[in-house]
Structure 1
Amino acid sequence: MADYWYNIRTGQVEEGRRSDWSQRMGPYKTREEAEQALDRARRRTEAWDAQDAEDR
């Protein structure tokens, strides 16, 4: 089974390692998970920012 990656330069999901590591997020187990990579990263960043604000 191949891994899926989200290419941040093209905005496309790739099956397997096709682009340079600096241009991709992953690996993800499914195409759907890879398609949601930016949203997942945004949600995590927001949660970390909220936690940092609480800790101040």
Structure 2
Amino acid sequence: MQFWFNTKTGQVESGDDPERARSADLMGPYESEADAARAYEIAAERTAAWDEEDRAEDEWATGDAGASNWDNNPLND
């Protein structure tokens, strides 16, 4: 069974629930109820990992570890 986290209510909803909220209010699916309950934490972990991947790719491509940092670009002043 799959589970979703409802961002409006803060509740976990199961995939077979006929009263499940509309998809715009849901994060998931997750394999377990416990994972769905950690939806925000999991999203933050994934975002941090993607940010690190982007930083590493930018460093590899440019040789500059801060290349992807908006504040390091002199054109953004």
- Fold match, TM over 0.5? yes
TM-score for both structures, normalised by structure 2: 0.62
- Cα deviations across residues 3-44 of structure 1 (Å, max 9, x unaligned)? 211011221111235100000011222210111111111101
TM-score for both structures, normalised by structure 1: 0.81
Higher strand proportion (structure 1 or 2):
1
Match of 2:28 among 15, 26, 29: 26
Runs of at least 4 residues of structure 1 off by over 2 A? Answer: none
Instruction: Give 1 or 2 for the bigger CA radius of gyration.
Output: 2
Alignment length (residue pairs): 55
* Greater relative contact order (Cα < 8 A, sep 6+): 1
Gap regions ≥5 residues in structure 2: 59-77
Q: 2-side partners of 1:47 and 1:29: how far apart?
A: 20
Gap regions ≥5 residues in structure 1: none
Percent identity, aligned pairs only, is: 40
